[in-house]
Structure 1
């Protein structure tokens, strides 16, 4: 849990050690890998015929850098390693180069032996009660009874992703830890029932916990978008970011929706006219556009590392495609 966040923190903290830059590619599958390299190629001014060409030309350019650089290969979680993944992970193209590599993966140390030198593997653990307590105090600004916060951390399994989402929720709504837990337990029960109706019977409690905290924040985004006069605009922007296969989402891609983006495979989206009207209104106003993005960052569904780019956790992108997660 939190492996990508740890890689981001490392890259930011030690960025001065990498004068040639920090480069990020998603290695979840071949499509995300090639999309990442195509995106990098465009940013680096590299002409390429396709994804594979972009990948190899970009790798060659990086290998020619005269000063140190960092390459992060994020989310290498697939059960099998494809030829493209193996090509990237191979040390051959990095011999006698200035490239440092960080690989993030959900693989256990035992199952990583075939790919990595496990002496350099760092395991990610859940937060202890003390660590979780200190995090929640700092993140929410609420300094209540230690036992109350520790019970809260224990209920959420010490999971960093869940605690971050919960902290954003509590901070924005100014609710107590007890009030959040009451709502969390109710939402978790409803989400478990909805998932079972969809055929998900054997999901871990950890995954359900994280999904519940995200569901609570997504519900708040829908409410705040309506409450703050944006209609469905903030929700639609969130869904747009989720379907764009880029590690960073440039704000310049947000537009008024022409041609009509509210049809999928020829099928009309429910309430398409209302959604389109709200989106047009928000995207035609600089203030409303900023407001829609701010709502998303407010509830920690997206991060704004740079002024013109947004990032969304890949698990959020997956969840937003689930029928039980998105209900207008």
Structure 2
């Protein structure tokens, strides 16, 4: 291995910057491509690894979301147990990692940053033991920043000497001239140094070859300079000529592999992905070509391989020389689409980890290679990217992929195509998951109408679309509109799939959930039990659907006052969810909330309060403030305080919940009415009768309109209003 030379002063300066501050230090190494910013950071990490007992976390800014990389590093290298399925804000996962990081100083390297705003919120640790080192081409306004320039002449010659030894002393003038020709750029100096060592030529001969090659390539160098104006023409010409000389050393197979690698994203490339692309070469031939590229310093890595940005650009320039490139692009698209199709709607932590390295390359296909995707595969490239984030509850990261999917399918396939309907459906479901019901409804309605038009009534896609629209109506409190759609879905799925199918179990569960919401408990119970039994037979006991089914059945029993049956089911659901989903998931908060509800019903207020507070904190952390589950959690905690006669605390939370429901679902929703009823009850208990009555009246009107006169909520609200009037009769007109 060649000794790292030429940057000793910079290494020392960098270490002093990182150690001198008592707060988190962000030392940014800025400069153009090829200066050795990454190598300097790497050498610093190697030289000072003993200073960082808490670990060295290396993040590749261009290889995907930095927040996700932080979480994956913590799981893989620190044996932390952060959220596996955080249903909401990725920032909460990152915070968890920083809060539970191993003891000792920590070096966090963010390599090749091109947009600081995308990582700023993730660099949260405020303890002096955390040091953050950024390499970037940007000019960041940090007190600890410094710009890395090209090497001085003596340092450039020293780099050459590390490769060719005494030749530098013997040909000092040629060494200086050669360094000048290469623009004193470390990347070019290292490439040429390797070339001289391998070819065993003199430095003077090398200068001649560069001069000759440079004249022949002047137009190409100029073109590349136009693409990157931060580099001088002299430096670019030197780099291009150095690359060309290395290129000529390669066999045709190695050149072909370099061109293939340039089709991937500027991120680590798992070798298995390369082997799966149809090249006409067997594994041994590909490996031989890879070794050639490595021997000339054109490729680095192990299992996953990385091209330098300039080398990738150079290989991209060479694509035109190979007839096979068009087929490479098509084959790469097929490989990535196959991976996208394997990403499930509810990926486990292991599945997320397994596919994470492929995601930047799937994104590259969706961004730049869609013309090489068949019409049948077009949807998969976008949906695969979206599901990777959506399945983890990272809705903000999933949203742009679903939006782009709608735009691309509309443009390429038109508005009378099934994939366009699917893209509308996917976007609508995401908005529903975010509680953005007004945005979701027209998309899901349009998707159902189009699917029916294209496929007729007897198709599973129509059943899926019916179910999604029904679930949205359910969430909106439009129960009378949801029920016929749920029933149609169940009937259609039974007819097309039979009784023993996961989708049939889902329909049974959803219909039972609706009946439970309407107070139709006797009708709900057998449906819940059927769904649970089917899921158990088909999925076993270790699946999120089982936890959901146990939770729903427990809710039903709690609503009926069957507390002894409800409690063990709530506890089983909570335990299973913690096991499968991790501690920081909205379903965990839901389970905590439901168990607290049970304890409250039993008068176990101190136990309930602790769980309610945990649930509310977790809901806010993972879902943000503007979500229906947060409003529910606020209402539940407010009701507990009411029972404990902590009226001021209760009123404060009830008002928050009421306003949140108003913003999220409007004033014609059962949850808004329930909030009115609860607030009225609080005012009545305080003797504030004139304030309570209009809230009861408004709640009764909404309940009758939405749920009907025989629903338990409606009847209870009528009873509350009657009791109020018995105690405080209205004034005669």
Aligned pairs for 1:148-297 (under 5 A) are 148-194=174-220, 200=226, 204-205=232-233, 206-221=235-250, 225-226=251-252, 232=253, 234-245=254-265, 247-257=267-277, 260=278, 276-277=279-280, 279=281, 281=282, 283=283, 285=284, 288-297=285-294
Give 1:75's aligned residue.
112
The alpha carbon displacement at 1:41 in A equals 4.6
The alpha carbon displacement at 1:64 in A equals 2.1
| Cα deviation code 1:223-252 (max 9, x no counterpart) | xx24xxxxx2x3343334434336433434
The alpha carbon displacement at 1:47 in A equals 3.7
Distance 1:147 1:195 in 2: 26
Contact 2:222–2:237 at 8 Å: present in 1 too?
no
How many residues are aligned here? 275
Distance 2:246 2:213 in 1: 11
Give 1:263's aligned residue.
none
Give 2:132's aligned residue.
101
Q: Which has the higher contact order (CA 8 A, sep 6+)?
A: 1
Distance 1:210 1:176 in 2: 19
Distance 1:245 1:22 in 2: 25
The alpha carbon displacement at 1:101 in A equals 0.7
Distance 1:69 1:239, change over 3 A: farther
Give 2:145's aligned residue.
121
Give 1:60's aligned residue.
96
Distance 1:170 1:124 in 2: 26
Distance 1:236 1:47, change over 3 A: farther
| Cα deviation code 1:40-86 (max 9, x no counterpart) | 65563574679x966752453144213232211122345xx43x233
The alpha carbon displacement at 1:300 in A equals 0.8
Distance 1:319 1:53 in 2: 39
| Cα deviation code 1:251-307 (max 9, x no counterpart) | 3444142xx4xxxxxxxxxxxxxxx22x2x2x1x3xx44422221111111124xx4
Question: Can you give the 5+ residue segments of structure 1 that lack an aligned partner in the other structure?
Answer: 227-231, 261-275
1:300 is the counterpart of 2:297: yes
State the secondary structure of the residue aligned to 1:301. coil
Q: Which moved more, 1:163-172 or 1:121-130?
A: 121-130
State the secondary structure of the residue aligned to 2:101. coil
Cα-Cα RMSD: 3.3
Contact 2:94–2:122 at 8 Å: present in 1 too?
no
The alpha carbon displacement at 1:158 in A equals 1.5
Distance 2:221 2:147 in 1: 30
Aligned partner of 2:52 among 6, 18, 30: 18
Distance 2:193 2:182 in 1: 11
State the secondary structure of the residue aligned to 2:119. helix
The alpha carbon displacement at 1:139 in A equals 1.3
TM-score w.r.t. structure 1 length? 0.70
Distance 1:2 1:55, change over 3 A: farther
State the secondary structure of the residue aligned to 2:146. coil
Give 1:264's aligned residue.
none
The alpha carbon displacement at 1:3 in A equals 1.0
Question: Can you give the 5+ residue segments of structure 2 that lack an aligned partner in the other structure?
Answer: 1-34, 77-82, 323-733
Distance 1:15 1:106 in 2: 25
Pick the structure with more helix per residue. Answer: 2
